[in-house]
Amino acid sequence: MNKIDLTIAVLVLIAIIISSSTLVYTTTVMSNVSTLTSDVSTLTTSVGNLTSTIGTLTTIVGDLAEKVGGYSEAIANLTARLAAIEAALAAREKETLIVGTTDSVELTLDPAQAYDYFGWCILQQIGGTLVAVKPGSTTGADFVPELAESWNASADLDVWDFTLRQGIKFPDGTEFNATHVKYSFDRAIGLIPSIPEGAPAGLGYDAIINRTEVLGTYKVRFYLNFPFSPFLGILACRASTIVNPKYAPMAQVNYTAGDPRASTPVAFVGPYYLAKWDRVAGRDIEIRLDANPYYWNATSEYPKTEHVIFKFYSDPSTLRLAVEAGDVDMAFRHISATDVLDLQTNPNVKVWWGTGAFIQYLCFQEKYAPFNDTRVRVAVTAALNRSALCNTVFLGLADPLYSIIPPGMLGHTEAFKKLGDANYTLTRSLLAEAGYDESNPLTFDLWYESSGHYPSSADQAVVIKEALEASGVIHVNLKSADWASYKKNRDDEIMQAYIYGWYPDYVDPDDYAFLYWAKWIHTNYDKVNPDKYNQQVDLYNQARATTNTTLRAELYAQIDDIAVEMCSVVPLYVSSAWAVTKPNIYGIYLDITQDMRYWLIYIGE
Amino acid sequence: MSKIRSKLNVLKHFISEFTSLTKRGPSGWMVIIGVIIVLAIVLMTLLSPWISPHNPAATNVGPIRAPPSAEFPLGTNHLGQDMLSRILCGGSIMLQVSALSVLVCFLIGVPLGLFSSYVGGNVDKVISLIIDAVYAFPGLVIAIAIAAMLGPGVINMALSIAVVYIPSYFRIVRSQVLSIKELSYVEAAKAIGAKWHTILSRYIFPNVVPSIVVIATINFADAVLTAAGLTFIGLGISKAIPDWGWDLYDGWRYLSSGAWWIITFPGLMIILIALGFTMIGEGLSELLNPKLQH
Amino acid sequence: MGLRSYILTRILLTIPTLLLLLSAVFIVMRVLPGDPVALHFEKRATPETMEAMRRVLGMDKPLWMQYVDYLSGLVDIPYLFEHGYPNLGKSMQTFEDVGGQIFSAFPATLELAIYSTLIATLIGIVLGVISSKHYHSIIDHLIRGFGTVTYAIPIFFLGIIFQLIFGVYLRWLPTGLRLSPTVSPPTGLNIGGIHIATGLYTIDSLLEGNIFKFFECVKALLLPSLTLGLILSGIFIRLTRTNMLETLRLDFVTAAKARGLNESTITYGYALRNAFLPVLTMMGMQFAILLGGAILTETTFSWPGLGRYIVDRINFRDYTAIQGAIVMFGLFVTLVSLAVDILYAYLDPRIRY
Amino acid sequence: METPLLKVDSLFVDYPTSRGTIHAVENVSFSLEKGETLGLAGESGSGKSTLGLSLMRLVPYPGVIVKGSIKLDGTDITKLSENEMRSIRGKRIAYIFQDPMTSLNPVKKIGDHFTELICTHEPNKSREEALERAKKILKNLGIPSERINDYPHQFSGGMRQRIMIGLAIALNPDLVIADEPTTALDVIVQAKILDLLESLRDAYGMALILISHDLSIILERCDKVLILYGGHMLEYASTIELHKNPMHPYTQGLLQSIPNIELADQRLRAIPGSPPDMLHPPKGCRFWPRCSYATEVCRVKEPPLVDVGHNHLVRCFMHSKEASRH
């Protein structure tokens, strides 16, 4: 009956398809033209080709007609094909690991430039560093040889010698030697000025490393600008990935999708190489890692799984649905606390727990009243209720943090416990001194980030507000801004109190302690309390200058004590880490490094 | 002319005796039901401070993500907040935003349309070009951009939504005026030397009112939905204030964990209010459509 | 004037429109708080590095010069031929060609748009006709109700509900993404040196002749396009219905009845043929709305299209990217309305411009 | 005597609306022979169009035929199924509408109008044959046959009315109903169209019902006249008879409002007042509020329809009294 309106609808559809596909078509056809001739001067000929293209197109249409005919039987034996595919998948299952994630490489896979979790994660699978952190390290990081087999540091920790493992080859056959090490670090530092904040810049390689020297084919020496005990931590992180000079020119390269250098196996010496990297509009669509046949440690049967395919989801809840539906073997990063708790009870999946390293902390703008008054800062700090925060927002999957250095790491203390949680008596007395009471409560804006840069930041803010106001002498206005504006406000120093977060570059207290006074957080602590600030910096540098762990721990403890006294940056919580897999997945280590080492993961029965 | 007259009469009629709508067939009923829904929700929101069982903003008043029960008829959300209390007052922001945006649209779109179409000539051309440029563009994108630019806040949100819907007012008014302008009695008015603003306000404006009313109600519904959409993308008002949009967003995050009640009820409320306005709009547009009168 | 010259003028007219949009966006983006440079730095944002970055992004120049540069980029024909897409500048976040990014994201949106329009139109016209034929009967009320309700449902709400039902509980359809990762994207047509790919997976998979992939694509497309289509169908139902009712009252329909023509000829050949014209115009306009809805749909279904791209980029204050996307959207909407006009002219003999 | 072509018996048509029921046609009866022309006269709103359409059972929504019979060659078409009715429309009864500008499908070529009509009613006919016939008809109507592929909007009003007529006679029906066929046209064309209709009637020997508000046209073109007022038939007689002695005050009023060349000094008189509101029609005689002879009885009682001889029917108390005296 609806014969005619069908035709009309189709008419419309055709019109729309034509009008818009022409866009896509023309562009694609043009790109053919460009491949046929890159030179605009020979455009005419290419236009000729274009016409011929169109000519062949018509013939193709003819072929298509036949194809369509072919489809009928294709559909007929589709079931057979499907079955075949099923079988093929079943066979491939054991050597293919499908990972679902909400991450995406931010910019590039050039170790000198990548500075995002996922970029580093991929780099770790395809690249190698001189030293590595032993999987499953519990207290701090214990470093094991990787491309270097041994090392020793000078007495005052500013000269480091490394002896390299022999017989390692880059996939193109190049023998790995000391020159590559020197090259890699020279390059990283050399690139710093030309890139925004590539990893080395962020880590401050240029500030730490003075120069690198080749002592022999397999001996290399680092001269540092100052004693620096955490140096191994630096060497173990992705930015120190050794590159093959042939494929990593000194000039800045973006190892971005489509760049042949990005997907070639020969740039690095890792257990995998990047077999496929599709990005759409600056977001990853598909990444496939294949086992690197030249991996130096292949003898020990690494990698355990032949292929790793990453599947990219835009949000945690769809990722959860996917892992439940069995679309992925493994879901890692950003599955929400709620979801992971539910999944624990789901027999079809296995949940892996690990220590986290991501922390969040509360910053006070000391430039103006009220928080230029230390008593007020301490009072508010005392009114915080960290356990409520962790239990309500993170359902216990985050731990209250009483020192900027997270547990499981050298120098972690419980310093802020001194002020207690929801310690309203202290709050009231201090605020009374500062001239606030029920009738005249302390009122300030608490800012949080609203575009999902931090986990459930809005909920955090709500809970914190409630805890503070429970003191009866504090009134909080919640304010929010999306990440860009938030950062702007931070730099403009217009936010009275704001929640901020930190994720470590290298596994060492050295990469946390400085947060108390970091200039880029713009609390103005260093300007308002220079003497305390200098004390802390001094302690910090002392800690850098010794490998004596007890001494270092002691020094960091002192830093914490001053921080408690001043309450300029107040630790709130440390996240825990978890991954969700199918029950038949093994070999996952979620240790303090936060690294996911895919070459250790294997699919069992 | 008779058409417009009848339109106007119908409108007067409608205003004068709301009840007579019952005699006007299904369209009449649509309007009545729509109005009732809207009024009910507005009333509910106004009364919420007195009728809500718990403080809607207080966390942990109940267990976390508790399904509907005697104590918490609509369950609790991920922060242990009482959904019922949140539902009761959660409409306020949306209503404010959409009301405000409709007002802005009206105050800008209508005069602009009247003016532009009445003056005609190049002025009209230019204005129409600009308006069409906006109109021919995915509204939500504009809204998002502006919302991001202005930052969160009721007024900002309303403005960002208003920008999207001004064109539809402008267009409807303009087309109406262009048709009315040529009508004999307007000509006559001109002939007897009435001032242009008199003609606009006295002769033309009354005749475009009906179509504006229709647009406004539809716009109201759209505004609610857009507001929800903006919140959904994360450009909503600070979370301290209970809001259906936020609850919907949270509900989405916790839907996968089977907490259907967090998303369902706010969702239904939004549908309901949007439905209310849409029904009014649809009913009116049919009642006021001269081509459909016997 | 003839149809051709009309179309020409239409195309010419879009240029000022686009310019307008562009300038507006250009300014708006720069009024936005937050600056793309700062977003690149966390720890060590020294003024020098910031300056260097500004230079890299070409933001050290005065605004008007940036604007001119941008426009001149748009008309950079050699570039167009070299890359196959216009020069929309480099992304301020990823340093990739915005043109490339957009043209890789666009087909996804396009595909979604096409199929949801198809669904919306079909549902809209069929139901609209039915309800107009049973004017004031129970069927009519039901259909009207349906139309009104669909119009009032928040699009992402519907999408989520679908995900829950078909993705989680029934496990019939994927809950997101354009294609399951175990399936590689269709390559399109490869014959000799020629490579034709539309970027529309459904079409490409057919061109490739891989029926299996085709079904995969359809499976992935189903939920998003159904969501969007259903939401939009409300408008079309309403439109078709009212226009049908109006047309059915016109003399020539009565005349046709008086000539004893059969029901279907009258409904379709007479009423619908004429009632469809305003619906068609509306469709042209609705397209912008559809694209707006696509943004929410894409977010809900992790659909890697232009809508999600824009949302991302706004968060990053990626000026160039957003400008590019806007230009793209503008062009697209214009093209569609143009197509609608042409179709209109074809369907209505009275219009001969 | 053989059954008349068309026999309408006490026909009632109602419009039930939300504000009340309108009795658009009440108790109308007449009959029509082959080749005869009947004129339906009355002001707008008198229900003449409704009557015309009800003869095809096309009374617009929500109108319904409540009572009475319409016999076409003896078969009561009010009893027929919708399908049977369809086969009658256009084939046996054709209708010509008032406004030629809006009565043709703007998106269909003229040819298509003909072919679809012919092919619907004569399925065995091929499209080509249909087109051939269409061309012939158009030529007869004085429209160049090559214009068969033009669209309606490309024709003038007069030509469109010719086309409408062409469509009406295409299947040479027994009865053609022309509803104000010329009101939308200018005077010269009017005459032409009416002549055309008459010639066709004679040529095809079909019956014609001419609906018009203009009594003069009817008097000069019709064999019988039926005067409608507010849905009631006030007078029904042969044209000559009516011309000789119009009995109903309304008819007389109408006649006096016609300019007449013979009586140069006659001054035209319009009927005072305006047609009745059909929602709340006056009790008794529908015409009394405007009737100069109205008496008490007219206001309360509805006058019967009486035959005053020579098949001259009139609905007025003045004459019903006389009739009773005889």
pLDDT tens for each residue of chain B, 294 residues long = 555 666 667 666 656 656 667 767 778 888 889 999 999 999 999 999 999 899 888 888 888 888 999 889 999 988 889 999 999 998 898 899 999 999 999 999 988 988 888 788 888 888 887 887 777 777 787 788 788 777 788 888 898 889 888 988 898 888 888 877 777 777 777 777 777 777 777 777 777 888 888 888 888 998 999 898 888 877 778 788 889 988 888 888 887 777 888 888 999 999 999 999 999 988 888 887 766 654
Give the closest-approach CA distance of A20 to chain C in angstroms. 7
User: What integer pLDDT is reported at residue C194 of this predicted model?
Assistant: 73
pLDDT at B6: 65
Contact B252 C156 (CB under 8 A): yes
Contact residues, chain C, for D108 at CB < 8 Å:
269-270, 273
Measured distance CA(C10)–CA(C342) in Å, rounded: 11
Tokens representing residue C180 in the block? 């399951």
| A54 compared with C265, residue with greater pLDDT | C265
Q: Which amino acid belongs to residue A561? A: D
* Preceding omega of A370 cis (within 30 degrees of 0): yes
Which two structure tokens, joined as six digits, stand for D4? 């008349």
Average of pLDDT values for C313-328? 83
Q: Is C102 on the interface with A (CB under 8 A)?
A: yes
The tokens describing B163, both together, are 């920008």
Per DSSP, D294 falls in state -
Q: For B230, name the nearest residue in chain A, comparing CA atoms only.
A: A451
Helical pair B244-255 and C155-162, crossing angle rounded to 10 deg:
20
Query: Which two three-digit tokens encode residue D306?
Result: 């009486």
Return the beta strands (E) in A134-282 as ranges: 143-145, 148-153, 159-164, 209-216, 219-224, 272-280
Q: Is the dihedral of CA C240, C241, C245, C248 positive or negative?
A: positive
CA–CA gap between residue B129 and residue B133 (Å, rounded): 6
C207 in contact with chain A, both atoms CB, cutoff 8 A: yes
User: CA A333 to CA A103: how far, in whole Å?
Assistant: 7
Do residues B230 and B160 lie in contact, with contact meaning Cβ atoms separated by under 8 Å? yes
* Nearest beta carbon to residue B137 from set C141, C152, C288: C288
Angle of CA points A114, A481, C297, to nearest 5°: 75
Q: Distance (Å, rounded) from C-alpha A313 to C-alpha C167?
A: 15
Residue showing tokens 């721990």: A553
Q: At what angle do helices D127-140 and D157-169 cross, to 10 degrees?
A: 130
Average model confidence (pLDDT) across chain A: 84
Q: Do D120 and C261 touch (CB under 8 A)?
A: yes
Q: What is the pLDDT averaged over residues C264-278?
A: 85
Q: Quick one: average pLDDT of D49-74?
A: 89
| Helix or strand (DSSP H, E) at D96 | strand D93-96
The band of A573, judged by pLDDT with boundaries at 50, 70 and 90, is: very high
Between CA C224 and CA C112 the distance in angstroms is 7
- Six token digits for residue A293: 């046949």
C145 touching B (Cβ < 8 Å)? no
Nearest CB neighbour to B240, from listed A395, A465, A482: A465
For residues D61-90, give the mean pLDDT. Answer: 89
Torsion angle, alpha carbons of C336, C341, C347, C353, to 10: -160
Distance of alpha carbon C88 from alpha carbon A524, whole angstroms: 41
Residue C270: pLDDT band (50, 70, 90) is confident
Give the span between the Cα atoms of B247 and D85, in whole angstroms.
61
Q: C255-282 as b/e, with b when 16 or more CB fall inside 10 Å? A: bbbbbbbeeebbbbbbbbbbbbbbbbbb
Which of C160, C163, C322 is the best substitution to test chain B (most B C-beta atoms within 10 A)? C160
CA nearest A319 in B: which residue? B256
Please list every residue in chain C whose beta carbon sits closer than 8 Å to the beta carbon of residue A1. 264
Q: C33 CA to chain B: closest CA distance, Å?
A: 6
Biggest CA pair distance of chain B: 75
Overall average pLDDT of the C237-264 stretch: 87
In which band, very low, low, confident or very high, does the pLDDT at A413 lie, cut at 50, 70 and 90?
Answer: very high
pLDDT of residue C295: 84
Nearest CA to CA, how far is C284 from chain D (Å)? 21
Touch test C–D: 3 Cβ pairs or more under 8 Å: yes
CB contact A546 to B (< 8 Å): no
For residue D62, is the peptide bond before it cis, meaning its omega torsion is within 30 degrees of 0?
A: yes
Question: Is the separation of the CB atoms in C237 and C142 below 8 Å?
Answer: no
- Chains D and A touch, contact meaning at least 3 pairs of CB atoms under 8 angstroms apart: no
CA distance D277 to chain B (A): 15
Work out the widest C-alpha separation in chain C, in whole angstroms. Answer: 86
Q: Does C330 touch chain B (CB under 8 A)?
A: yes
Q: Write out pLDDT tens, residues D279-296.
A: 888 888 888 888 888 888
A557 or C175: which carries more pLDDT confidence? A557
Question: Which tokens sit at D180?
Answer: 């104000």
Quick check: A568 pLDDT over 90?
Answer: yes
Q: Which residue is listed with tokens 């730095």?
A: C41
Task: Classify D179 as helix, strand or coil.
Answer: strand
Inter-CA distances, A394 with A216, A390, B238, D297, Å: 53, 5, 20, 93
- Contacts for A75-83 with beta carbons within 8 Å, 24 or more apart? A75/C211, A78/C211, A78/C212, A81/C212, A82/C212
Query: Confidence band (pLDDT; 50, 70, 90) for D106?
Result: confident
**Nearest 10 degrees: Cα torsion D121, D127, D129, D132:** 110
How big is the A-B interface in CB pairs under 8 Å? Answer: 68
**CA of C209 vs chain A CAs: smallest distance (Å):** 7
pLDDT recorded at residue A22? 47
State the pLDDT at residue A257: 60
Give contacts of C148 with chain B, Cβ < 8 Å: 30, 275, 278-279, 282
∠ Cα A161 A165 A168 (to 5°) = 135
**Does residue B75 belong to the interface with chain C, where contact is any CB pair within 8 Å?**
no
Q: Does C94 touch chain B (CB under 8 A)?
A: no
In tens, the pLDDT along A276-288 reads 888 877 778 888 8
d(CA B3, CA B5): 5
- How many whole angstroms separate alpha carbon B161 and alpha carbon B159? 5
Chain-chain contact of B292 with C246 (C-beta, under 8 angstroms): yes
Cα distance from C273 to chain D (closest Cα, Å)? 7
Alpha-carbon gap: D26 to the closest alpha carbon of chain B (Å):
20
| Average pLDDT score, chain C | 83
State CA D47 to chain mean position distance. Answer: 10
Q: Which residues of B touch C315 (CB under 8 A)?
A: 148
CA distance B277 to C330: 30
Instruction: Find the CB nearest A478 among B236, B240, B246.
Output: B240
Q: Could you tell me where the beta strands, DSSP code E, fall in chain C?
A: 189-191, 194-196
What pLDDT score was predicted for residue A26? 47
pTM for the predicted model, two decimal places: 0.79
- Whether A46 has a pLDDT exceeding 80, the answer reads no
User: What distance in Å separates residue C290's CA from the closest CA in chain A?
Assistant: 13
Number of neighbouring beta carbons within 10 Å of residue C332:
23
Which one is predicted more confidently, D67 or A25? D67
Contact call for C261 and D167, based on CB within 8 A: no
What is the DSSP pairing of strand A148-153 with strand A143-145?
A: unpaired
Q: Which residue of D has its CA nearest to C350?
A: D153
- Residue count (chain B): 294
Q: Is D16 on the interface with B (CB under 8 A)?
A: no
